[in-house]
A and B are shown apart, each in its own frame.
Chain A
Amino acid sequence: MGVLGAQNSGKTTLLTANYLQLLKGRKISDADFSGSRTLGAWESLAAHIRFEDSARTPSFPPHTPRGTSRVPGLLHLAMRNQNEEFRDILLADAPGEWFTRWSVKEDAPEAEGARWVVKHADAFIVMADCDRLSSPERGATRGETRELIERLGNHVGTRPVVFVWAKYDKKPPEKIEGAIRRALINSIPHAIEHQTTTNDPDTLLAALAQTVDLAWLPPSAKAVTAPVLSKQPFYSFRGHHGYS
């Protein structure tokens, strides 16, 4: 799953909050936690939000560094649902700058990681920062958010998208919200909207659960219509991945 959004829009917080809820025994969708290959990463993110000692007060997790890597850090969860279906869920926690750059210039070298995420993800969570959308920078933020939506719209196809109004404890002005919603309807009409705030951790759980739900079953393959290219029947073989 790709988590997309500008820097400081709350991508890491959304993911960490879900881990903290799992720690309390909560389910995601109707699936139980059944393992993680990245517990070390989860724990180091969660440590920021904990009461550990009086010298370090809890805070939001820090900015995900850009580093030199060309692919994002992946966080892993294994889940098993009531029907005994087992899934490995990989969550791409990429630095926000990648997506900001990608929105503006799709083939920018710095956007390689963003392209990787968009190419490989089976589902997307797109984050809009309501704190900034209700600040004096709201105009510029609206622009960036719409660019991201429109850019993703070119690539997403039928893959599920959950659009998250993050930090909804700060509600953006109606006109701003309306403009973004229009962009969303135009570019990604199948996107499902969620509002989240850390004041109510259940909202963060609901957003991820919805995404997991939508991606739980792979899309059904489209019927392959083999074009007649020549009289040799094997010439039209397209391999097993002909649909992509």
Chain B
Amino acid sequence: MDTPELLLLGGPNSGKTHYAGQLYGRLRRRPGVLELRKDQGTPLDLSALDEVFKCLEKGRAAGHTPTGTWSEILLPLVDKSGRCLDLRWPDYGGEQLESVFDQREISEKWRSRLVEADGWMILIRLESETTFDDALNQLVERPSDGTTPAVRPNTWDANAKWVELLQLLLHVSGTGNHQRLEKPKLAVLLSCYDEIKRPQDIPSNVLGEYLPLLSSFINSNWSSDSFSVWGLSSLGVPLTPDDSNDDFVDEGPEEQGWVILPEGGKQDEDLSKPIAWLLEV
């Protein structure tokens, strides 16, 4: 029995809970490369996903995962060749990741997971990341009022923020980057991919367009077969907490959502593929 460890990294509102809910629906009811083991039946404890199931069945967006939450669902999986895996799928409030960045401090629980994890999965919702335009080539023409520039608010560009976060996590997990990294394998999931303006590009190019510095950082630190960039739309369409989406109600949430594979191409309904890639199934 393999008991692989994955670390799921995503800030608040990056779609961790929706992905978890939809992933479970797939594994249970519409299996692809991975499915739940029949002999185990339903996982004993689904309470972490209870809320999201209820919302999705009604065609509504799930609420925010409370900040302090840390829960795990044990998913007994089997792949096409019959190999069995026990995957502990974490769910937590995304603010915990923010506070790693803000406090520059990582709890022992996180650290041991970082060290043990075979793969890291990052969820980035590109459309809600803040990047800044610069005015470098206009400075000379701008009239200077001669005053000392005011102190600036300390808002980081999302590029720098993600690079810093990855550097912190690599440091804490004891991983240096002088040699290209083979481990941890890294899957970057661009969540809410239905919001992207040019979804026909391959996901790694989309990442490079939205977050070029982060893209350079990943490209120049991981060996090319140890990272991959995916487009992910867990729901396929935006849902709101208040209005119902009839497709979800009538067809069931397991019929919704898709991923775009790293090589691009059309929407693939098997939401378990990024995990299968990370686990080398």
A interface residues, Cβ below 8 angstroms from B: 17, 20, 22-25, 27, 32-37, 39-40, 42-44, 46-52, 56-63, 78-80, 84, 86, 167, 169, 197-201
Q: Is the CB of A33 within 8 A of B152?
A: no
Q: Which of A22, A57, A197 gathers the greatest number of chain B CB atoms within 10 Å? A: A57
B residues 120-174 in Cβ contact with A at 8 Å:
131-142, 144, 148-150, 152-157, 159-160, 163-164, 167
B221 at the interface (CB under 8 A from A): yes
A42 to B216, CA, bound (A): 17
Evaluate contact between B213 and A25: CB separation under 8 angstroms: yes
Can you list the 4 inter-chain pairs with the closest CB atoms, starting with the nearest? A25-B212, A58-B135, A47-B152, A32-B220
Query: Of B140, B157, B215, which one neighbours A198 at CB under 8 angstroms?
Result: B140
The closest CB in chain A to the CB of B213 belongs to: A23
Instruction: Chain B residues near A63: list those with CB within 8 A.
Output: 148
> What's the Cα separation between A65 and B140 when bound, in Å?
22
Residues on B lying within 8 angstroms of A by beta carbon are: 131-142, 144, 148-150, 152-157, 159-160, 163-164, 167, 177-178, 180, 208, 212-213, 215-217, 219-221
Q: Contact between A56 and B217 (Cβ–Cβ < 8 Å)?
A: no
Pick the contact of B133: A34, A36, A50 (CB < 8 A). A50
In the complex, besides A23-B131, A201-B136, 16 extra interface pairs with C-beta distance below 8 angstroms are A39-B156, A40-B164, A43-B154, A48-B152, A49-B135, A50-B132, A51-B135, A52-B132, A59-B139, A59-B144, A59-B149, A80-B220, A86-B178, A167-B140, A198-B139, A201-B137
B220 with A17: CB separation less than 8 A = no
List, sorted by A's number, 17 A–B pairs whose CB atoms are closer than 8 Å: A22-B216, A23-B213, A25-B212, A35-B221, A39-B160, A44-B152, A48-B149, A49-B135, A50-B133, A52-B155, A56-B149, A62-B149, A78-B177, A80-B221, A167-B140, A197-B140, A198-B137
